[in-house]
Amino acid sequence: MKIVYCGDIVGKSGRDAVLENIYNIRNKYKPDVFIINGENSAHGFGITPNIADMFFDKGIDAIVTGNHAFNKKEVIPYMDKCKKIIRPLNFPDANPGRGFCEIELLDGKKILIAQIQGILFMEPNDNPLTTIDKLLSSYILGKNINAIFIDIHAEITSEKLAVAHYLDGRVSAVIGTHTHVPTADARILKKGTAYQTDVGMCGDYDSVIGFDAKEPINRVLYRESHGKLVLSEGKGSLCGVFIETDNKTGLAAKIEQIIIHPDEY
């Protein structure tokens, strides 16, 4: 199975970077499944039903979110209805939406897509490892599911690595998001799970993680907020990853970083 995943989409720059490159990515990688992270797609914080529908209309198969999943309140009833938009699985059970989805392809193959959120320097949530164990108790890679894709949305590199090694050999891929800067460690772990610490954002990199640099600089200088974060409005880069799995085992056969700079489209 061929999977493309695009990292945190930040504002209009990020939305445009993905929308303007969907055709070329499909043409080059011919993915069976195209997934995006949309948690910053609405003015940098959250996602709206209109934005989600815009991507689904372009053929995106699933949208994962993160700690900003519920920032736009209008998305809450939408999440309860739409099974293809995913919030962190280890959010409390009473939260809207769901933390995973299962997609069946035209050839009958199935992929499980799930997201867990880190607990170090993040809002308190359930334990990500015991939570994902409960989900995986119903799925055996290469048996009743053809591929399993896990997004780990977390601050700390070591936590993402720990999650990946814990799940190595049980899932097809563990891909990190949230810190918005692409890491240079895309690889396949010993037992066959594809991994990258952070896939990076889709947005304007002439910025501080997608925002105009002035306010983040002030917060470093004065250790307090001097105003709201303002989105950077330059042309965005696209950061993502391509993963190919073995048809028999469901484990990763290939992982390739995708970076498309603004001058390339």
Whether residue 145 contacts residue 110, with contact meaning beta carbons closer than 8 Å, is answered with yes
Reading the block at residue 88, the tokens are 């962190």
d(CA 189, CA 150): 14
Q: Are strands 238-245 and 252-260 parallel, antiparallel or unpaired?
A: antiparallel
Amino acid at 213: A
Reading the block at residue 107, the tokens are 């050839």
First-to-last CA distance in the chain? 27
Neighbouring C-alpha atoms within 13 Å toward the C-beta of 236 = 32
Other Cβ atoms less than 10 A from the Cβ of 229: the count is: 18
Whether residue 171 contacts residue 149, with contact meaning beta carbons closer than 8 Å, is answered with yes
Whether residue 172 contacts residue 187, with contact meaning beta carbons closer than 8 Å, is answered with no
Phi and psi based region of residue 121 (left: phi greater than 0; alpha: psi -120 to 50; beta: remaining): left
d(CA 245, CA 98): 25
Catalytic residues: 68
d(CA 125, CA 137): 20
